[in-house]
Amino acid sequence: MKNLTEIGWNDHFAALFESYSRNDLVPARVVKQYRERCLVAAEKGELKADISGRLRHSIANISDFPVIGDWVAVESVGHGRGVIHAVLPRRSAFTRKAAGDLTEAQVVAANVDTVFLITGLDGNFNLRRIERYLTAAWDSGASPVIVLNKADLKLNLNETVAEVERIARGVPVVAVSANDGYNLDALGTFLAPGRTVAMLGSSGVGKSTLINRLLGEERLRIRPVREDDSRGRHTTTHREIVALPGGALLIDTPGMRELQLWADDEGLDRSFDDIAGLASRCRFADCRHEAEPACAVREAVERGSLDARRLENYLKQRRELEFLALKQDEKARRRSEKAVGRKMAALMKEVKRRKPNYQ
């Protein structure tokens, strides 16, 4: 990486950085993300960077912390170290719900141009999972591409590709094999110099093997998947930007055991635009496509023009997003009540302080 342009810097980010232009702050990109620290690439080299205390204190949600792909304002403090003072607004962000009971977003990768949604053509293959990843990808602001890896294991490859294309609804679908190099050239269309591509998928789909193939060297460690269910163990333990010989930038991410959605109706409707189109012909504008009369969506299922499993997955994702919205509203209400309580307590304290003492 010789200059910022080679790692995605452009006029858009230059304009955003103007408000941070001070003698001691320079733009840099997070190129490697660990749990508590980042490696950032600046014009004069790479720095091991920590977050400033002021920035850490001002961050309200975990999604606001610097992540792989972010552009940041960093101060060099010498000896190859730096301090991150600000995160520039993101052009795109692939986001999921944080694990556990937290109702918060977790940003997996930021400022991504294209998302490679990778699935294996072995026991990992699952159309419903692909639909879920598409919903998150459309919500991210990046352009999705479905990459079907391990094509060498699939006998009826053309039929499988056609099956995925039917649910992908215009999204490019590319079948490749990282094992023997089959059709990897087809990915070149999306790997232009300076463009950032995030590799996303569950464990064992072959992301690291695919990156090694595109690099032309065995840089990333790989581990075999389990034979009984085609699942892999996490080979990648951190997030990293890898520069390809042609100038494209790949973000390698740890495999996901599950993808809990953090999206809105727009992402869902783009992923299921066939259902959204049918819904416009339902008798009732607020039809939920469950038991209402004259439901054009369910009629399509009965005619066989819409897969019942696709509708069920759509309804499942919609219920998940509705529940998430309720949890967010509840969290916002509790935060508001606490803020009001603090103001009232402060007001009462001030009243007591000013109350005359006649004794």
| β-bridge partners, 109 | 94
> In CATH, which of 3.90.226.10, 3.40.1130.10, 2.60.120.330, 2.40.50.140 is domain 4-87?
2.40.50.140
Residues 69-89: pLDDT tens digits?
999 999 999 899 999 999 999
137-173 pLDDT, tens digit each? 999 999 999 999 999 998 899 999 999 999 998 999 9
CA 209 to centroid of chain Cα atoms: 21
- Amino acid 259: pLDDT: 72
Count the alpha carbons within 13 Å of 327 in the hemisphere toward its beta carbon: 13
Instruction: Copy the structure tokens of residue 266.
Output: 């727009």
Residue 275, pLDDT above cutoff 50? yes
Which tokens belong to 258?
A: 């599950």
Q: pLDDT (tens digit, 9 = 90+) per residue, 42-64?
A: 998 999 999 999 999 998 888 88
**Is the CB of residue 8 less than 8 Å from the CB of residue 111?**
yes
Spelled out in words, what is the top-level CATH class assigned to the domain 272-359?
mainly alpha
Q: Quick one: average pLDDT of 253-270?
A: 76
Mean pLDDT, residues 123-138 taken together: 91
> What pLDDT score was predicted for residue 257?
61
97 sits in which H/E element = strand 93-97
Closest CA to 257 of 225, 231, 224, 221: 231
Long-range contacts of 99-106, Cβ-Cβ distance < 8 Å, separation of 24 or more: 99/260, 102/62, 103/324, 103/327, 103/328, 103/331, 104/61, 104/62, 104/63, 105/61, 105/62, 105/63, 105/262, 106/62, 106/63, 106/262
Percentage of the chain surpassing pLDDT 90? 60
Residue 122 has pLDDT above 80, yes or no: yes
The highest-level CATH class for domain 93-252 is alpha beta
Residue linked to tokens 């494209």: 248
- Residue 46: the pLDDT is 94
> What is the per-residue pLDDT for 308?
96
Q: Cα(356)–Cα(359) distance, rounded to whole angstroms?
A: 9
> 274: helix, coil or strand?
helix
Q: Is the pLDDT of residue 225 over 90?
A: no
pLDDT the model gives residue 226: 46
More confident residue, 265 or 45: 45
Mean pLDDT within 86-102: 84
Checking if the pLDDT of 350 tops 90, the result is no
pLDDT category, 230, cuts 50, 70, 90?
very low
215: left (phi over 0), alpha (psi -120 to 50) or beta: alpha
The domain spans of the chain are: 4-87, 93-252, 272-359
Question: For residue range 164-195, what is the model confidence (pLDDT) as tens digits?
Answer: 999 998 999 999 999 999 999 999 999 999 99
pLDDT at 234: 46
- Mean pLDDT of the region 308-313: 96
Residue 50, beta-bridge partner list: 83
- Burial of residue 249, with CB atoms counted within 10 A of its CB: 0-12 exposed, 13-18 middle, 19 or more buried: buried
